[in-house]
Amino acid sequence: MDNILTFKNVDGGYGRVKILHDLSFEVRKGEVLGVVGPNGCGKTTMFNALIGLITPTAGEIIFKGKNITKVSANDRARMGIGRTYQVPRPFEGMTVFENVLVACCHGAGMTEHAGRPKALEILKLTGLYEKREIMAGELTLLDRKRLEIARALGTNPELLLLDEVAAGLVEAEVGEVIDMVADLKAAGYTIIWIEHVIDVMLKATDRVMCMSDGTDLLIGEPREVMESKIVTEVYLGVEDDE
Amino acid sequence: MIKNNARSKTSTIITIVVLAIIVALIYVLAFTGVFSSNLMRILLNICLYASFAVMWNLMAGYAGLTSLGNQAFIGLAGYACAVMCTTYGFGIWVAMLVGGLVCAVLAVILAFALMRMRGMYFAVATWVAAEALKTAFQNWKFVKEGAGMTVKIKPYPTNAEIFALAFGCFIVCMVVVYLLLKSKTGLGLKAMRDDADAASSIGVNIFGSRLLCYVVCGFLTGVAGVIMYISKGSIFPGGGFAIDWTIKIVFIVIIGGIGTAAGPVLGAIIYTLLYEVLAQFAGFTNIVLGIVAIVVIVVLPKGIIGSLENRFKFEILSQRRKSLE
């Protein structure tokens, strides 16, 4: 399978605070890669580096064969990287429809005329069609998370980054999210999914990467990674008595 | 949907016709001498302050650029006017064009120098830039240093003609901002206003959009500045580049409603009328204006228009995109 994304020895952080240390991994086209790791290990920072909100101080990020390390955030969105945020960040002064339309127009480079049916189609796919005229600030948490995904899809991404979209949801809602991600995978999207819900990682991902201290600790089959001794020690804080 | 479309188009046409009639009526009244010279002066000030405020609102209310240095455009435009008219003998139209262009160029330079800063850092940097310009003009022999320059135009335009220019400038400012916000760029600006990082991550070009707003703001503030100094007749560095301009503009936008289309206009009307009334009580003007600003901020935090729009669910000159049009 071809790689769509490669992180090569990436260092980065915020100002003088270095979070990512020599982070290297690859993502295969069409797969769902789960990312786990303790709080503060650099998962969201990895996303920020990937979408261009922070610039790595060392290393390279290769997307579809192109070095995008110095490419601006908005250009990366246009190249096909869509992202959701851990804490939903809807444009609260705009309606649900406008939130998705802005992504279609700017991320996917469509005209408003062409973007309208596309936005409506995405709203149907994500279950927000009936709420399209509601101000985004008035949505429930689940709907805000749906909107995050809808907005990311509006950019017409090839690589979709999901940051804890199941966090804070009840079991039934988590099930809905898993189904939605399965539909997206079936539609051909490549997905990197940061999540703390172990069950989600086991059910919905093809591979899992465990991060620790800003670097890749282990990457492989979901069950193999989640049950490995090193991951349980670092991530779950369980030490072997032997 | 077809019925909705037709209704929406009819409503737009009616609005445009009504506005065109009002504009024509104002021009007829101005040139037939119905307005007294005092009323003309008040209307002129309303138009110019509204123009300054509409432009500042575009930056602060939509592009997320809170500038404390728009006096740089007003002062520079005033000097461009004086130099073009007095030194080189050009007419009003050339002065307005040059004033606008010089300010647009200044906006481009400032954008590349300052736009990496955010929030208060940007605000203070624009203020410092304006102060630096003031100092430069105070020591520049070509513009008569601190003594300032008079604006000489032959024949000097009448009050009605200056008002006509100011009113035209105000309408252009409103139309430009409306069209900009109705465009694809405007959609991005509204997203940026709510969350610049999130907007950037879905493809909105933050720097490009901000640069566009800043240049448009510079150009039209410059044109309004030229008209302001044609009406005043002279310019001095201390007055042209004074922070007072921006304080007045911020007051107008805050009480009217930041990020609303009609807020700056209502704010300009309130400010100008209050200023006229308070002129009789010298020394109390700023105290009363300060109290008004505090009361409005506490009672109506989104400004008068913003709070009314929120409360009664309407939007003047709405740029909202309906899903089924």
Please give the ipTM for the structure prediction: 0.87
Residues 6+ apart with CB under 8 A from A196: A36, A164, A167
One domain, residues B104 and B144: yes
Residues B14 and B147 in one domain: no
Alpha-carbon distance A133 to nearest alpha carbon in chain B (angstroms) = 7
Contact A3, A26 (CB under 8 A): yes
| B202 to A154: CB separation less than 8 angstroms, yes or no | yes
Core vs surface per residue B224-243: b (16+ CB within 10 A) or e? bbbbbbbbeeebbbebbbbe
Please determine, for residue B4, whether its predicted confidence score (pLDDT) is greater than 80: no
> Which chain B residues have a beta carbon less than 8 Å from that of A102?
187-188, 190-191, 199, 202, 204
All domains of chain A in start order, with CATH: 1-80+158-242 (3.40.50.300), 91-156 (no CATH)
d(CA B77, CA B95): 9
CB B315 within 8 A of CB B309: yes
pLDDT digits (tens, 9 = 90+) for B226-266: 999 999 999 999 999 999 999 999 999 999 999 999 999 99
Domain count, chain B: 2
- Which chain A residue lies closest to B196 (C-alpha atoms)? A91
Of residues B197, B202, B323, nearest to A133 (C-beta)? B323
Q: pLDDT-derived band of residue A96, with 50, 70 and 90 as boundaries?
A: very high
Region for residue B117 given its phi and psi (left: phi exceeds 0; alpha: psi -120 to 50; beta: otherwise): beta
> Is B204 within 8 Å of A83 when comparing Cβ atoms?
no
Selecting from A93, A97, A152 the residue whose C-beta is nearest the C-beta of B190 gives A93
Interface of A with B (CB under 8 A): 51-53, 72-74, 77-78, 82-83, 85, 89-95, 97-99, 101-103, 105-109, 111-112, 116, 119-120, 132-133, 151-152, 154-155
From the CA of B297, how many Å to the nearest CA of chain A? Answer: 20
| Contact yes or no for B198 and A93 at CB 8 A | no
Q: Are residues B29 and B125 in the same domain?
A: no
B274 belongs to a structural domain = no
Q: Do B192 and B230 reside in the same domain of the chain?
A: yes
* Residue B20 forms part of a structural domain: yes
What pLDDT digit, counting tens, does each position of A155-195 carry?
999 999 999 988 888 888 888 888 888 989 999 999 999 99
- Do residues B10 and B49 share a domain? no
Residue B62: Cβ-neighbour burial (10 angstroms; 0-12, 13-18, 19+): buried
Q: Are residues B10 and B67 in the same domain?
A: no
For B98, the domain range is: 40-244
B134 and B23 co-located in one domain: no
Task: Choose the weakest-confidence range: A14-18, A135-139, A182-186, B316-320.
Answer: B316-320
Residue B115 Cα, gap to closest chain A Cα (Å): 15
What pLDDT is recorded for position B223? 98
Co-location of B230 and B152 in the same domain: yes
> Does B57 share its domain with B119?
yes
B314 in a structural domain: no
pLDDT bracket for residue A238 (50, 70, 90): low
Q: Answer whether A112 sits within 8 Å of B190, measured CB to CB.
A: no
